[in-house]
């Protein structure tokens, strides 16, 4: 969301740091499950 990105980047004390961090909107509500599934599969495949 544009308003969030603008607010995030305009911190008076950390503007240089925060403006260098890329911010993306994740609108897939299952993204946490995909991440957990990936971590689980990596753990199972570890030898």
Residue ranges with strand state E in 1-47: none
Q: Cβ(28)–Cβ(46) under 8 Å?
A: no
> Residue 23 contacts by C-beta under 8 Å, 6 or more apart in sequence?
4, 5, 8
pTM for this structure? 0.48
> pLDDT of 25-47, one tens digit each?
889 999 999 999 999 999 999 96
> Of residues 33 and 4, which shows the higher confidence score?
33
Tokens of 14: 């950390």
pLDDT of res. 24: 85
Question: Tell me: the pLDDT tens digits for 5-28?
Answer: 888 888 889 999 998 998 888 899
d(CA 7, CA 21): 13
- What gap in Å lies between CA 15 and CA 8, rounded to an integer? 8
pLDDT at res. 28: 93
């Amino acid at each position: 969301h544009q308003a969030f990105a603008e607010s995030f980047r305009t911190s008076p004390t950390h503007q240089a740091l925060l403006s260098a961090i890329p911010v993306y909107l994740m609108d897939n509500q299952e993204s946490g499950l995909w991440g957990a599934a990936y971590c689980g599969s990596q753990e199972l495949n570890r030898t």
